[in-house]
Each structure stands twice: as structure tokens, then as C-alpha cells.
């Protein structure tokens, strides 16, 4: 069964304290791995799409990487405005739906 697991469930950081969020997946044919940011009461906001192992993408303080079993979202020198829930999802060969993890809720305090 296709599955996506995110860890940790919650992460508290001090402003400037870098860290990484993990997304591990077990799927039958990965077509793409997606990262989204979701603020409370809002829809998910697209961040990155990764397609193959070894691929990396960056946007401001965020960097996403992909291996054959997992993806990491690295947050460098976070600011309070980076506080949100970060969702990981995969597109699989068998269909067109995205399978989401439960998300990691990040809180950054000043």
C-alpha cells in the first residue's frame, strides 16, 4: 500500500536555529514528490516538486532534497513567519491522486 510518513509531528525552533523535516514514502512508482506549506485555516501553498533521487530545489530559507526512500525539507535560519504546517505528498504511477502525509507543524519563536 502506498504510504507517506512525516516526522516529527511538531517542531519548535528558536529564530535562526536550522533544522530538517523528514518525509519517508513507500510507493509503487514515484511520479513526483511535492512539498506544501499550510497556514491555519488556509489551503496548502505549493513550495516544491521533486522528480528523481538526487534532485534538490531551493526557495529563500527552504531547501528540499530527494532520495529513493525519503525527502527532507531543510530550513536554514528560520524566522517566525516560517511557522506553519508543512505537508509532503507523492504522485504515484497507479493514479493521479496525491497521497499526503499528516504534516509537520513548525513553530519558530523570536
- Residue 92 sits in the site that holds another protein (CB under 8 A): yes
By beta-carbon proximity to another protein, the closer residue of 9 and 15 is 9
Beta strands in the chain (DSSP E): 3-7, 10-14, 19-26, 30-38, 45-50, 56-59, 62-66, 70-75, 84-92, 98-100, 104-109
CA pair distance 78, 1, nearest whole angstrom: 35
Segment contacting another protein by CB under 8 A, of 14-22, 29-37, 54-62, 64-72: 29-37
CA pair distance 100, 34, nearest whole angstrom: 9
By beta-carbon proximity to another protein, the closer residue of 43 and 60 is 43
- Residue 36 sits in the site that holds another protein (CB under 8 A): yes
Of the candidate residues 11, 22, 55, 99, the single one contacting another protein (CB under 8 A): 99
Segment contacting another protein by CB under 8 A, of 13-21, 32-40, 53-61, 67-75: 32-40
CA pair distance 11, 22, nearest whole angstrom: 11
| Interface contacts to another protein, rule CB under 8 A | 4, 31-32, 34, 36, 41-46, 49, 51, 87, 89, 91-103
Amino acid at each position: 500500500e502506498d504510504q507517506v510518513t512525516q516526522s516529527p509531528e511538531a517542531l519548535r525552533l528558536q529564530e535562526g536555529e536550522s533544522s530538517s523535516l523528514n518525509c519517508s514514502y513507500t510507493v509503487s512508482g514515484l511520479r513526483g514528490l511535492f512539498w506544501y506549506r499550510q497556514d491555519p485555516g488556509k489551503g496548502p501553498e505549493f513550495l516544491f516538486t521533486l522528480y528523481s533521487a538526487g534532485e534538490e530545489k531551493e526557495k529563500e530559507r527552504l531547501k528540499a532534497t530527494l532520495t529513493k526512500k525519503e525527502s527532507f525539507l531543510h530550513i536554514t535560519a528560520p524566522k517566525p513567519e516560517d511557522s506553519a504546517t508543512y505537508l509532503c505528498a507523492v504522485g504515484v504511477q497507479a493514479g493521479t491522486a496525491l497521497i499526503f502525509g499528516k504534516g509537520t507543524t513548525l513553530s519558530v519563536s523570536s
